[in-house]
Structure 1
Amino acid sequence: MEIKDKKVLVLGLGKSGQAAIRLLEHFGAKITINDGSPKEKIAHYDEYINKGMEVIYGGMPDELFERDFDFVVKVPGINYHAPYVLRLKERGIPVLTEIELGYQVARPQHYIAITGTNGKTTTVSLLYSILKHANKKAHICGNYGIPYCDVVMDERLYEEEGHDIVLEMSNFQLLDIHEFKPQVSSVLNLTPDHLDYMDSLDEYYASKMRIYENCDQDAIFIRNLDDKTLTSYLEKIPPHNKIETFSVHQDADCMLKDRTIYYKGEEVITRDEIKIVGLHNISNIMVAIIACVHSNVSLKTIREAISLFTGVEHRLEYVTEKNGVKFYNDSKGTNTDAAVIAIKAFEKPVILLMGGHEKGLPLDDVRALNDHIKYLVTFGEAGHRFACDMHHPHTYEVSHMKDAILKANELATSGDVILLSPSTSSFDEFNNMGERGRKFKEIVKQL
């Protein structure tokens, strides 16, 4: 990709916007930055100005979107249906994601791309752990929280090739890919989410299928045989590359039989050797096994790395035990399907903490598990609706997450599990789910 002297508009800052600017500056682009924040909240504003970049802040002026740019880099948080984004596309100006920019600049690498509604972070974390255990030149990035453009710059991937790039990809990051094509990809599952961003559930599901649309015929798509919704979308939008399957319920290339995971008939690891809880994590492990086999890692090394893996922060993360009560942080559970998965991971009813920013998701699937919930404590902006719609006989509604923790602790007796699985996003009280999870752990440890 030729960047020198190209006129580039970067829409939005944050981590991905700043990483894109770093790469664009290195290759000599003429950069215009637009961010809706006031000047005092623009990170590195003076530095950008001193380097000759144009910074337009505080809004999206109409005249900006009538100017000529060679291409635009848009951060994922800006809605791709925004009128000014559509205007750029209608004028034939390419709009790229930060991942697409890094991909077009980097020399050939081995890309493993993972999307789906739930389990992405656990899967890519395990993948990365296995590859590092195998002494591979591996890097983890994308929706995981590390921009790919930073990896390209830090590892000089514009000069080096053949590294293993493990990418967690949200549907936001898939909407504006152009050339990106991984050697290995998977859509883990499909359940309702992001109805506050997408026009419809159908559009959300279809956006996930873009992960394999550019793939070569010899690329590998890892298919979940257990997800009916995913199966229907794969029939509508079929991959044209090689397929390997996994299942926890039926025969597949990677399958569970008698509490043991097998890959193409060869034993990999037993459930007793695995530290992370829940059948859903067996599915995540299977994806990692298949992907790492296709990165030339032996099953022996894969088994060793899986047995050492203790999970991901904010995803069914064990926090501590107080007076016989165990606390689990599932702050990354930002939709109802994640809550269902978390509740089912435990063998006895839990004290469930749920609430946060209202996303409008129906609660039928969580309500169906009311007999797996000993007490329900709701909080935040969505707390009142959750309390009403769950129809749980032992429900307590409080204002803030801290109040929910204190109430749950008051209700708990030895042997109980207190589970934070909010079922929605964090933006009513926190900046992101990570801040929410860290605050949960801080409060719990102070009890």
Structure 2
Amino acid sequence: MAHKISDEASTSALDTHLIPGSNLAEPVIVSGAGCDVVDEGGNVYLDLEAGPGVNSVGHCHPKVVKAIQDQAGRLLQGPGRNHSRVTSELAARITRESDGRLSRVFFTNSGAESNDGAIKLAFKHASNAGKKGYGVIAMEHSFHGRTSLALSLTGNAARKKGFGPYAALPGVVHVSAPYCYRCPYSSENKNNDGGCGLKCADSIEDAIKVRMQSAPAVLISESILCVGGVLTPPKQYWPRVQEICGKHNITLIIDEVFAGWGRTGKTFGYQHWDLQPDIVTFAKAIGGGVPIGGFMATETLGTAFEEGDHFTTFGSNNQIGMAAGHAVLDILKEEKLAENARICGERFLDGLKRLAEKYEVIGDVRGIGLMLGVELVKNRDTREPYPDLVKAIHAALRERKVLISTTGTYGSTLRITPPLVITSDQVDYALRVFDETFAAVGRI
């Protein structure tokens, strides 16, 4: 008999047996559909967080649910190292999303595991190619996960404090991120236009000459640095970075764990800059709510591993995840969700910019598609971060039945990443609630 979930325990008792993490917050959500979730009391919330970023096709999309149910009756988990057509066909479909250039896929369980495996693959390729060094270039303000290697790559010291050498992989060097609103090279550049002369990109050259103790083998970055504050590079940034990687024979890894699968209006964020990465990592949205991740690589890199070099118990054997991935790809295409993300994202961005004209505490509004950030400041001239107000706005929105995330190295950014099925009416409703909230909370 299935275990009956009690609804009688007090909210304060719910975390008694859980090791503290980041998912122990009210309200207690029990169901969801589309962009809405419902708590134990029957209250309906507009979800502008989505998992975060996981439920791209909406909560409990009927086609995802059916795919999971159908597969559950056939095979839950592959027996070990045997072939699966469900897995192989999903890999083929995923490679087509990169126009076939990234022709090999390795499936994992999460974004952190995907980034870990991608670095490992790049190192094996460097070894095969006779590269004299294994230096890794990563970005300040970046986020790549919470396991040891992924946290070493992450460019936010606050996430590493108290863990000793756990997040200190030798050879990782962090360079300036394209954080135009807080450009370290130009105090005037706040228009996200590369007005600093792309010195943040050129800092990669400086790091190679001055700080790297061995030859650089890998550069890894999110196409848009989401957890770091939805940092959206200027138009010229990524082409310049790719040029530098080509010059030094550096494997370029683009982390699409958050930006991937239609969220920015294109399948992958890097496609806004016509990049040609060597490896792309993914997770979150591809499973529609079921854990699944992976990385895809060019034929040369994708065949660098030898038998036994890399393996994961679930990953490609997780037939529930593979079935969900097929359903998500179907839905993205049939419902044109990338296009909806572009249209609704522009509507949302325009509305947020109008609010910025109205409220002085809104220092910057940025993003692409349905990956948006609103950075709050105490003073627009000094741009001093305002994390306390971010917390207050976050709580006030929750009271008004709208759920969002807070993010950024300074804790000063409201992050908006709703399911891609959001409608224009829901966008307009959210903007009205934002307006009411800023008017009510103001400053603290």
Is the structural similarity TM-score above 0.5? Answer: no
The structure with more radius of gyration = 1
**Which has the larger strand fraction?**
1
Q: TM-score range by the shorter chain?
A: under 0.3
Higher relative contact order (CA 8 A, sep 6+): 2
TM-score calculated relative to the size of structure 2: 0.27
TM-score calculated relative to the size of structure 1: 0.27
